[in-house]
Structure 1
Amino acid sequence: MPKIVDHDQYRRELLRQCFDLFAEKGYAALTMRQIAQGLGVSTGTLYHYFPSKEALFEQLVREMSLQDIKNAIAVMSEKEATLERAEVALQFVAEHEDYFIKQNLIWVEFYQHQQRENKSPCQVFHDVWRESEPQIAELLGIEDKPLLEFLGCVVDGILLHRMYEPEGFSFQDHARLLLEMLRLYLEKQQASESKVVDC
């Protein structure tokens, strides 16, 4: 009896394994042949699932972003208030800091490669952010789009700075400061809304 293969599951498994290859070697340095060797599959099998290295990488970005959101939902779903959810989300990032730093480095390296090749490097990141933004907004309980984008920028910045100063720069300390800023912002926003209602 022939073996039944769940092609979507197998494709996702290949993508998960690709993350470590890209983190170790970098996007530009890897060929499809080397990726296939690293995954322990034939080049033909790899091309069956991914028509090019660029397509493989773009699917990796989408798959990882989706998985990150699922993982965040699993740890945040019991919290009600926005601040509590934000605190849990920042703790989640802190606990998986190495993974998120590697992810940012891989994304930046892909961006640089695409720029050198005169291709549009931002489209996949733009698309993934636009697809995941409503889920993140709902997850955090934040409808304010500029605030949501600002929080993402600050977290990326903290992770980036952690690469420069891994010993003297604490993610947790800066996450606490970010939470305090968020608390003050939300209180001010709530006070403004109350004044409008009272008028």
Structure 2
Amino acid sequence: MPKIVDHDQYRRELLKQCFDLFAERGYAALTMRNIAQGLGVSTGTLYHYFPSKEGLFEQLVRETTLRDIQSAIAAAGQQECVLGRVEAALEYVAQNEDFLRKQKLIWIEFYQHQHRESGAPTEVFHRVCQENEQHVAALLGLDDPKLIGFLSSVVDGILLHRIYEPQSYSFRDHARILIDMVKLYLTDRGSLRPLD
């Protein structure tokens, strides 16, 4: 009897393994043949699931980002108040800091490569950022796009800063300050009761 393969699950497993390849060798250094060899599959199998290296990478961006946001939502969604949800989401980032820093570096390298090749902005990041910000806004229960964009930018900045200065303050130290800033911002805008 032939083995029944869940193609979508298999594609996700291949993507998950690709992350480590891109983290170790970089986007520009890999070819589809290198990726297939690293995954232990034929090049034909890889092309069956992904039309090109760029297409594979764009799916990787979407899949890993969606997985991260779903995990953060699961962690933060158990909190009743906005600040509790912000704190839980930031704790998720702190617990996964190493992976998320690697992710940022891979995304930056892809962006540089694509920009050198075409000179055009990379649309996949724009779409993923918009989707993420919608998920984060729903999770936090906030209808304030500027605040959501600010939170995303600060978290990205902290992760990048920690690459350059790993011995400086921890992510949790920075997150504590960010939570205090959000608390003041929400209080000032009337979204929270005044602080005692």
Deviation string for 1:81-140 (max 9, x for gaps)?
111000011111011100000000000000000011015342000111222322111112
Name the counterpart of 1:11: 11
Name the counterpart of 2:176: 176
Name the counterpart of 1:29: 29
Provide the rounded CA distance (Å) in 1 between the counterparts of 2:32 and 2:82: 43
Percent same amino acid at aligned positions?
65
The reply to whether residue 97 of structure 1 matches residue 97 of structure 2 is yes
Provide the rounded CA distance (Å) in 2 between the counterparts of 1:112 and 1:53: 15
Alignment of 1:140-179 (within 5 A): 140-179=140-179
Name the counterpart of 2:190: 190
Could you list the runs of 5+ residues in structure 2 that have no partner in the other structure?
none
Deviation string for 1:11-46 (max 9, x for gaps)?
011000000100010000001000001101000000
Question: Is the CA contact 2:115–2:122 (under 8 Å) kept in the aligned structure 1?
Answer: no
Aligned pair count reads 194
Name the counterpart of 1:58: 58
Name the counterpart of 1:135: 135
Deviation string for 1:126-182 (max 9, x for gaps)?
111222322111112221001100000001111111011111232111110000000
Pair 1:20–1:191, CA change in 2 (3 A)? closer
Name the counterpart of 1:2: 2
Question: Is the CA contact 2:33–2:43 (under 8 Å) kept in the aligned structure 1?
Answer: yes
Name the counterpart of 1:197: none
Alignment of 1:64-143 (within 5 A): 64-143=64-143
Segments of 4+ moved more than 3 angstroms: 191-194
Q: Once superposed, what is the RMSD of the aligned Cα atoms?
A: 1.7
Provide the rounded CA distance (Å) in 1 between the counterparts of 2:25 and 2:135: 32
Which TM-score applies when normalising by structure 1? 0.93
Query: Secondary structure of the equivalent of 2:27?
Result: coil
**Range that drifts further, 52-61 or 161-170:** 161-170
Amino acid paired to 1:114: Q
